């Protein structure tokens, strides 16, 4: 796989994403510092932080309030409403669109035999992918995985909505090796994409993903420094781990020959300590 061809194919997508991140998150440090005050119990108002982080602050306050009252409950109606609001935010939407478009373009570039989505859940990214396939009249067998049963409902739902039939789902906790059922469905070369699944597990899961993925599009915000913010401390209470890129790199180096930081220009421009979007590619000779 020629990395320069990959970069050339994604140049337009990268520029659009870079421009968006630079504009949307340029004042991230204001929020980073304010989040520590939220964590310490101070009353921080929305007027003190950029609008991009208003929902995140609401989520922090809700988590802290529920923890103080007893225990955080994912099924609480208020929690579900808040996370639904976050999932419809401009960043989360654009981030998902970008992950999907990268994966689709790479599938076209290499003539993928199949694709796999990790952490598919209720099919948010899946629908984006299927719509993109239909728009381009270019289809790939698609396997959906998640560690929760909700993923099992999605193929039938999406087939009814779109008419796309070559789609299957299976439960897979990526902390474990992929099953034979997964391997049997997938045909090489395989493009894999995910958003915030490594964040809720550990870098070690990459070795399991690498068993089936020739190209991996990673949508996880990884830390490049030891700096810890208030939001890190709060979201760790609900399973969102603060993961260092250096730890992820150790795993990637074992299985992938090339990788590059899709959002490096954006993160550098705003002096962000994170890597948010990365593409890992196996060498055919391995």
Q: In this predicted model, what pLDDT tens digit does every residue of 140-182 receive, in sequence order?
A: 999 999 999 999 999 999 999 999 989 999 999 999 999 999 9
241-280 pLDDT, tens digit per residue, is: 899 999 999 999 999 999 889 999 989 999 999 989 999 9
Length of the chain: 286
pTM of the model: 0.94
Provide the token pair at 206. Answer: 């990459």
First to last CA, the chain: 11
| Share of the chain residues as helix, strand and coil, in percent rounded to the nearest 5 | 55, 15, 30
- What is the DSSP-derived secondary structure letter of residue 58? H
Name the nearest CA neighbour of 29 among 53, 46, 47: 53
> Packing angle between helix 90-110 and helix 3-24, nearest 10 degrees?
170
CATH class of 3-25+90-227+237-281: alpha beta
Alpha helices in 228-272 (DSSP H): 230-235, 245-255, 264-269
Q: Cβ distance 110 to 189 under 8 Å?
A: yes
Per-domain residue ranges of the chain = 3-25+90-227+237-281
d(CA 191, CA 132): 15
Query: Could you give the 3-state DSSP secondary structure of residue 283?
Result: coil
């Amino acid at each position: 796989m020629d990395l320069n061809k990959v970069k050339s194919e994604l140049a337009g997508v990268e520029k659009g994403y870079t421009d968006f991140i630079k504009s949307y998150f340029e004042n991230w440090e204001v929020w980073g510092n304010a989040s520590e005050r939220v964590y310490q119990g101070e009353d921080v108002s929305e007027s003190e932080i950029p609008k991009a982080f208003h929902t995140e602050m609401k989520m922090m306050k809700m988590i802290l309030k529920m923890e103080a009252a007893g225990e955080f409950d994912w099924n609480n109606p208020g929690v579900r409403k808040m996370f639904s609001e976050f999932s419809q935010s401009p960043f989360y939407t654009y981030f998902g669109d970008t992950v999907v478009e990268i994966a689709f373009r790479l599938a076209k570039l290499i003539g993928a035999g199949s694709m796999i989505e990790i952490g598919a859940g209720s099919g948010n990214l899946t629908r984006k992918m299927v719509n993109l396939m239909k728009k381009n009249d270019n289809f790939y067998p698609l396997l959906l995985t998640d560690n929760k049963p909700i993923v099992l409902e999605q193929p039938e739902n999406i087939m009814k909505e779109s008419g796309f039939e070559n789609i299957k789902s299976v439960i897979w906790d990526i902390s474990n090796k992929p099953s034979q059922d997964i391997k049997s469905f997938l045909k090489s070369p395989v493009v894999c994409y995910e958003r915030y699944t490594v964040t809720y597990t550990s870098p070690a899961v990459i070795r399991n993903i690498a068993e089936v993925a020739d190209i991996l599009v990673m949508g996880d915000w990884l830390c490049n420094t030891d700096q810890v913010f208030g939001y890190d401390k709060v979201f760790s209470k609900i399973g969102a781990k603060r993961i260092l890129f250096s730890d992820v790199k150790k795993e990637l180096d074992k299985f992938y020959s090339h990788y590059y930081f899709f959002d490096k220009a954006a993160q550098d421009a705003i002096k962000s300590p994170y890597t948010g979007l990365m593409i890992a590619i196996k060498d055919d000779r391995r």
